[in-house]
Amino acid sequence: MAVLNVLLRYGPLSRREICPITGLTSGAITNIVNDLLESDLAMEVGSLPNPGKTGAGRRRVLVDLKPDGALALGVHLGVRSVLVALGDLRGNLVRQRSIPNATDDAPYTLLKAVAEAASELVAESGGDQRKLLGLGVGCAGLVDPVVGVLKSMPTRGWRDVDVAGYLGSALQLPVAVENNRNAMAIAESTFGRGQKVEDFVLVHVGTIVGAGVVIGHRVHHGNSDAAGQIGHLVVDPSGPRCSCGQRGCLDALVSETAIVSQALRAAMGRRGIPRPGTDGGLLQAEDLFDAAARGDEIARSVVRDAGMYLGRAIGQIIRILSPDMVILVGRIFKTEELVMGPLREAALPESVRALGVSTNIVPSTFGLDLRVIGGVALALQQCLYSVQTAN
């Protein structure tokens, strides 16, 4: 709905201020706003004097979204992590939980656990279930968003999983399904840094590396819904072999798995970076980034190299698309300027800046919560706000 979308992006606003943004008449806006107030999706939040020398006349009553007027469920179905959350109209997470899973879980076994967790979250919230609009799922894999099917997730060995059909039947809710990077990009466009720009690219660094591309406020899916597969961009032809058969792919150099492997090879038993077995488990990416923050030189060197390689790939994206912004999400960005300095230098060298390129490269303000906020945004876009996806 256009008025809700305007309130989301620019509110609070007076009814008169909403008219030119939507192109609707004052009479239509009055009726729509009254309906939104009655349905508890909007609220009046005060008033201001009329503009002018005296400010005489009726005051302008401001209208804004009522964040808890409706709720949506979001799911992040990742390579290693599965998250379920309940969010409000502004994408604020009301409740969230992680689901224990193994990469060899059968697809519908895991989806059953997702449905049970979603039901429990709704029950625990104690709210009016009539406020629950729907559920959105961001999947790490190739997705057909039109029918809600996960076409393939090679890391789990899944093919043709009817995510929307199963969860819709189990929960009796509308279900939207997307690739997880596209879902995160929709969340940024709906609630975050992408609200005020037309074109941006979201880059997610996790177990694999991928991107969501937004052009003219709309997600670009590309042929076969495969846009954004940047993990196999070659950034170092002499680099390590990737699972795809090429050498020096982004996945083989910058993914969390690759970074941990590089750090272990470089450490070779030296102090600083935790080694496998030191705490009874394997070295995790989080351990490595913590070590870098503490000043461990091996960890810092690996992180700086990852920033440089990622910057090379982002530089290629910028040269091709010239987006307004590149938004970054992943654990590695907790190292802040240690990774961001080499990344920006490689992505925007002087030769590129001389062409007038001014793409802003920034981390997401949501951090890792963006993974599950993506699902909330999907549900709200399908059920309430203007849909922002395109082929």
* pLDDT band, residue 328 (cuts 50/70/90): very high
SS3 254: helix
SS3 311: helix
* pLDDT band, residue 185 (cuts 50/70/90): very high
- Inter-residue contact 385 to 8 (CB < 8 Å): yes
CA torsion sign, 83 to 88 to 92 to 94? negative
Residue 350 CA, chain-centre distance (Å), reads 30
Beta bridge partners of 34: none
Digit-coded pLDDT (tens) for 109-129: 999 999 999 999 999 988 778
Burial class (CB within 10 angstroms; exposed 0-12, middle 13-18, buried 19+) of 281: exposed
* pLDDT band, residue 388 (cuts 50/70/90): very low
Spatial CA neighbour of 181 closest among 322, 305, 364: 364
Of 16-20, 246-250, 287-291, 384-388, the least confident: 384-388
Instruction: Give the integer Cα–Cα distance in Å for 170 and 162.
Output: 12
Beta bridge partners of 75: 84, 137
In this prediction, residue 391 carries a pLDDT of 44
In this prediction, residue 390 carries a pLDDT of 42
Instruction: Give the integer Cα–Cα distance in Å for 80 and 59.
Output: 54
- Inter-residue contact 87 to 373 (CB < 8 Å): yes
Q: What is the mean pLDDT of residues 293-312?
A: 94
- Average model confidence (pLDDT) across the chain: 90
In this predicted structure, the answer to whether residue 55 has a pLDDT above a threshold of 70 is no
Residue position matching structure tokens 């992006």 = 9
- Inter-residue contact 208 to 155 (CB < 8 Å): yes
Instruction: Give the integer Cα–Cα distance in Å for 212 and 99.
Output: 25
Q: What is the mean pLDDT of residues 166-189?
A: 97
* pLDDT band, residue 274 (cuts 50/70/90): low
Digit-coded pLDDT (tens) for 355-369: 778 899 999 999 999
Instruction: Give the integer Cα–Cα distance in Å for 163 and 177.
Output: 7
Beta bridge partners of 65: 42
Q: What is the mean pLDDT of residues 44-61?
A: 73
Q: What is the mean pLDDT of residues 141-157?
A: 93
Residues 6 or more apart whose Cβ sits within 8 Å of residue 151: 141, 142, 143, 144, 159, 160, 225
Instruction: Please give the share of the chain, as a percent, with pLDDT higher than 70.
Output: 93
Omega before 12 within 30 of 0, i.e. cis: yes
Burial class (CB within 10 angstroms; exposed 0-12, middle 13-18, buried 19+) of 101: middle
In this prediction, residue 183 carries a pLDDT of 98
The Cβ of residue 69 has, within 10 Å, a number of other Cβ atoms equal to 18
Residue position matching structure tokens 């920006």 = 344
Residue position matching structure tokens 């394997």 = 282
As given in the structure block, the two tokens for residue 141 are 């894999």
Task: For residue 213, give the H/E element and its range.
Answer: strand 209-215
In this prediction, residue 276 carries a pLDDT of 47
Instruction: Give the integer Cα–Cα distance in Å for 287 and 291.
Output: 6
The Cβ of residue 180 has, within 10 Å, a number of other Cβ atoms equal to 27
* pTM score: 0.91
Instruction: Give the integer Cα–Cα distance in Å for 79 and 286.
Output: 16
Instruction: Please give the share of the chain, as a percent, with pLDDT higher than 90.
Output: 76
Domains of the chain, CATH where assigned: 2-65 (1.10.10.10), 71-191+370-383 (3.30.420.40), 196-364 (3.30.420.40)
* pLDDT band, residue 58 (cuts 50/70/90): confident
Spatial CA neighbour of 93 closest among 83, 101, 107, 79: 83
Q: What is the mean pLDDT of residues 138-155?
A: 94
Residues recorded for the chain: 391
In this prediction, residue 279 carries a pLDDT of 47
- Inter-residue contact 364 to 327 (CB < 8 Å): yes
